[in-house]
Amino acid sequence: MRDASPRPAGGGPPVAPSGAAPVPVVLAGARGHGAWHLENLRRLSATGLVRLAGICDTAALAPGEPAGFPEPARGTDLGELTARTGAGIVIVCTPIHTHTDLALAAAAQGAHVLLEKPPAPSYAAYERLVAGVEASGRACQIGFQSLGSHALAAVRALVADGAIGAVRGIGAAGNWVREEHYFRRAAWSGRRRVGTTDVVDGVLTNPLAHAVATALALDGSERAEDVGAIELELFRANAIEADDTSALRLRTARGTIVTVTATLCAERNTEPYVVVHGDRGRVTFWYKQDRVLLQRAGHGPQERRYGRTDLLENLVAHVRHGEDLLVPPRATGAFMKVVEAVRTAPDPVPLPPDAWRTEPGERSVRRVVTGVDAMVTAGAERLALLSEMGAPWAAAGGVVPR
């Protein structure tokens, strides 16, 4: 794909075409992960590509906050603020259960939308999002940043060229450390629902959702119809509603087995990855680092890092030049089938007290599931579920076929 817009000599972010005004952007949700979007907006504002026109947040910001911007408009009603600022793009970085309504409110005012993942907490809400956005004629980009990695196309090309032989399956692994305060950061954190409203803030659907989406994308199985049978094992060591240690196995329409094993109760925090297993080799993709390792019979290991297209830059390029969106809503249909399976599954099984321990953290204690790092890694290697790793607590949880 050609560059979204002209780039300065020596590389760097794109700059606005000569004479083009910066695209006015409203950010909904400036706290938490919203800070990442603010930093990205600072970067792109410096090039003249965008300008921060407004911030919509229920929490009051101090005067001069955020730093580094001319004073943006403020408000708590996203539709009203979008109309008042004439925003061309709205970034929605708010609690999961507000995504659909806020994205549609922005589109109704004529703005294009960058919507954080997961796009919705249920498949019904996702279908309403897709239908509403398409009816509005506005563009919507879903914030799976890993799907902007140029490594995706490179890995798919290696597989298509037969570099690792016939694909046996795709495994993903995520060993992350999260302290107990992480689950107290907001009223919806670690919840399956708030009252009767779905949230589905589990390890597979939010913190390590990129592992699921990236594994599906490497198989070319991104749309809802690309997913067949789903098996789930959902557990929790923390005192929360949602799952923090889980396994997923599904079969895509093309016959590929895809597994994801993930935990927020790791012994050691490591970079998540997806590995494509072939009968003559393997390709490992550390998707946060855009790093790819090719290992195959008769050759030495080959490692390479790739670039990445920022999703906001891509959305601007789509609006200005008709570039294809990297992550339109329909390209997350397969992921949303997983979200729906998690949503409708029985509540996660609490782990027995002898399966985990507490350790001190930087801000609060954290719960560590004994031996889970090795199980997560083995799940990606063997394309197996946690119950197939020999842990008594996992075997007791059983498999939930969907």
295-321 residue pLDDT tens: 998 999 999 999 999 999 999 999 999
CB 114 within 8 A of CB 91: yes
- Packing angle of the helix pair 209-218, 151-160 (nearest 10 deg): 40
User: Do both 166 and 257 map to the same domain?
Assistant: yes
Domain boundary among 86, 118, 142: 142
- pLDDT score for 61: 76
User: Do both 128 and 173 map to the same domain?
Assistant: no
* Domain contains 171: yes
Other C-beta atoms within 10 Å of 178: how many? Answer: 20
CB 90 within 8 A of CB 116: no
User: Do both 202 and 130 map to the same domain?
Assistant: no
User: Do both 159 and 268 map to the same domain?
Assistant: yes
Distances (CA, A) of 149 to 29, 47, 154, 326: 25, 22, 9, 10
- pLDDT score for 10: 37
* Domain contains 119: yes
CB 179 within 8 A of CB 240: no
Nearest CA among 308, 309, 290 for reference residue 5: 309
Q: What is the pLDDT of residues 114-136, one digit of tens each?
A: 999 999 999 999 999 999 999 99
Domain boundary among 115, 142, 169: 142
H helices present in 169-233, as ranges: 209-218
User: Do both 116 and 225 map to the same domain?
Assistant: no
> Could you give the number of structural domains in the chain?
2
Q: What is the CATH number of the domain that holds 365?
A: 3.30.360.10
Non-local CB neighbours of 348 within 8 Å, separated by 6+ positions: 202, 234, 235, 236, 241, 242, 243, 244, 246
Give average pLDDT by consecutive 10-residue segment, the chain, 402 residues.
33 59 97 94 96 92 81 95 98 98 98 98 98 98 98 98 98 98 96 97 98 98 97 98 98 98 98 98 98 96 98 98 98 98 97 97 97 97 95 73 64
3-class state of residue 339 by DSSP: helix
* Domain contains 213: yes
Asked if the peptide bond before residue 66 counts as cis, ω within 30 degrees of 0, the response is yes
CA distance 395 to 399: 9
User: Do both 120 and 160 map to the same domain?
Assistant: no
Q: What is the CATH number of the domain that holds 129?
A: 3.40.50.720
Domain boundary among 86, 114, 142: 142
Query: What backbone torsions phi and psi does residue 142 show, to the nearest 5 degrees?
Result: -90, 135
User: Do both 263 and 379 map to the same domain?
Assistant: yes
| Total number of residues shown for the chain | 402
- pLDDT score for 396: 61
CA distance 397 to 61: 45
* Domain contains 138: yes
User: Do both 44 and 83 map to the same domain?
Assistant: yes
User: Which residues constitute the domain of residue 219?
Assistant: 151-306+330-387
CA distance 274 to 211: 7
- pLDDT score for 149: 98
User: Do both 130 and 156 map to the same domain?
Assistant: no
* Domain contains 323: no
Give Cα 197 to chain centroid, integer Å: 21
CA distance 161 to 164: 8
- pLDDT score for 70: 87
Other C-beta atoms within 10 Å of 289: how many? Answer: 14
User: Do both 62 and 171 map to the same domain?
Assistant: no
